Amino acid sequence: DIGGFATGTVTEDIHTSLRLHKHGWKSVYYARALAFGLAPSTAIPFLKQRLRWGQGAMQVWRKEHLLRDSRLSWSQRLSYLATMLAYCEGWQRAIFFLAPVVVLTTGVMPIHALDAEFLMRFAPYYLLTFWVFEEVGRGHGRTLLTEQYTMMRFAVFVVATFGYFLRNLRFVVTPKSMGAAAATHRVMWPQYLVLGLSAVAIVVGFAVHWRAGTLPTGALLANVLWASLTLGIAALSIRFATRVAAFRRREYRFPLPVSARLQLAGGPVTAVATDLSPQGLRLVGFPGDKVSAGDLLRGELLLPDGRIPFAAVVRSRQQDDAPAAGCEFRWEQPEHLHRLEQFLYGSDLQWRLNGLEERGRTPLERLAALFGARETTLPAGTRWRALLAGPAGQEDLVGYISSEEGCARTVVATLLLPAFDRFEACEVTEYGLRQVTGQLGDQEQIETQSAPAWRYRLSA
């Protein structure tokens, strides 16, 4: 109805949505993941992406006459305007970060009536604001992380607002790979500037107060605290960005064990594949004397939806209690790579197994935990091993088993197993296959993004 995707700006998604709404189409929220993508993993691609989004939003605002077009309802106009005005936050934050610097170095307060009456109202309001933010965000607010991201992007948001006046902008695809440690220091000069100015202002503020006493003591301490918090957030942001940029691996490695059947000179061998990514993996539990750096290994990954053939070059070897090799994939068929990506990124099974959460606990949830509230996830820190079942030499992955010994163990199956029946399978360890027998009980379904899994208690 609108001729296709909008190409007149560098943010085709919001531009296309706006044109669809102008032509009378409506949009609804559909609560299911239909596509998966990669977010920027380091500061440079993150800042490039936010700059492009901000500049594109300003272009759309100018080209589409957002507030004057009667084909949009007022609620749609206000919603789009709220999205685009978000990039003006950069100016607000710049003032917020620099205000204590100005006060401490000049001795001039922006608020004259800084007395007990003001503080009695301001302090509870400020504390309650953060508390409500954490509770309403249901653990996704993460105040400290939010402030770090705000510190990271405030300068590019300021630059992005000038996109309203720029006519020709070049579309830049955001790189998603890791690396570029040295360049990260250069692009974060605004954060270094805020850190340096805050540190200098604290010293100057004490010196000015000692010599002239232009600031009341309470105002001095309040601004020193303000500048110290800003300095700390800047330091945390820089530390996090430079640490992540120094990672040598190009992609995130998933801490999820998968069985691999290798074709070696002496015959097929079952090993443990872990630290998986579309780029490589770590193999553990195979005859180490048969593999050298530079060798090309061939085999199959045993995944819940079937087997994936792979070839991989050995990049490093470790010879501890159990031999291990770091390998880089050499994909010969694109569909095999896509299947692995779907398994890794298309499911939150690794989160469920490892007790990981992207949300933090809210203050009220922390209080509830003190009084013994029941945890809803598998315990964090549990170590898992792959579990195989089927004819000898042809086993397929049925799930995972916790590695505790001498007690009732937990089985997480990717298919529904008969409870309270005798259960037999093979546990894939660093030292080979080991028989597992017992009785399954306490069945509980675990919802994941791609397909459900089932948790059982395995007793002898």
List the structure tokens of 22.
């102008």
Low-confidence ranges of the chain (pLDDT < 50): 178-179
For residue 182, the model assigns a pLDDT of 77
Is 289 in contact with 325 (CB distance < 8 Å)?
Answer: no
DSSP output for 339-408 = HHHHHHHS--HHHHHHT--SSPPPHHHHHHHHTTPPP-SPPTT--EEEEEESSTT--EEEEEEE---SS-
Is 312 in contact with 293 (CB distance < 8 Å)?
Answer: no
For residue 201, the model assigns a pLDDT of 94
Sign of the CA dihedral with 215 first, then 216, 221, and 227 last: negative
For residue 190, the model assigns a pLDDT of 94
For residue 379, the model assigns a pLDDT of 55
For residue 337, the model assigns a pLDDT of 92
Is 297 in contact with 328 (CB distance < 8 Å)?
Answer: no
pTM metric for this prediction: 0.73
| β-sheet bridge partners, residue 299 | 262, 310
70 by DSSP, 3-state: which?
coil
